[in-house]
Amino acid sequence: MRIFQMQRWTAIALLVFLTIHMIVVHYPPFHIDFSRIAARMGDPLWKAIDIAFLAAVLIHALAGTHQVFTDFQRFSRLHRVHGIVMVVLGVVAFIYGTATILAFNPEVAAEAALHLP
């Protein structure tokens, strides 16, 4: 798939994910606190949504960065190297972010929140 097509598809995905994020996190009809976030992060569906959101953000941002980089003619020799660096950076960031999302345990987080000042 061409990079500009990935940009378009991830832009559509980001519109969906950002709308969900804004409605659920920033404009709820109730006061949001850590206990609600911990409960939501305990749900496998929300973890899947967050992982898909992470993937869309990484693909969109890194593909855009690569496209901006390739607009400069003097870097044409480094085009392939930069592309490889962006892919590796994206994979590492995705693995790290996914591991963080999957490792979240609401029971441990709730216990830790009780000991905060």
Per-residue model confidence as pLDDT tens digits over 94-114:
999 999 999 888 777 666 666
Mean pLDDT of the chain: 85
Using a pLDDT cut of 70, give the percent of the chain over it: 88
In angstroms, the CA 14 to CA 54 distance is 10
- Is it the case that residue 13 has pLDDT exceeding 70? yes
- Domains of the chain, first to last: 3-114 (1.20.1300.10)
- Distance, CA of 59 to chain centre: 9
pLDDT at 105 (0 to 100)? 81
Residue 10: closest CA among 44, 54, 69, 67: 54
Per-residue model confidence as pLDDT tens digits over 50-83:
999 999 999 999 999 888 888 776 666 777 888 8
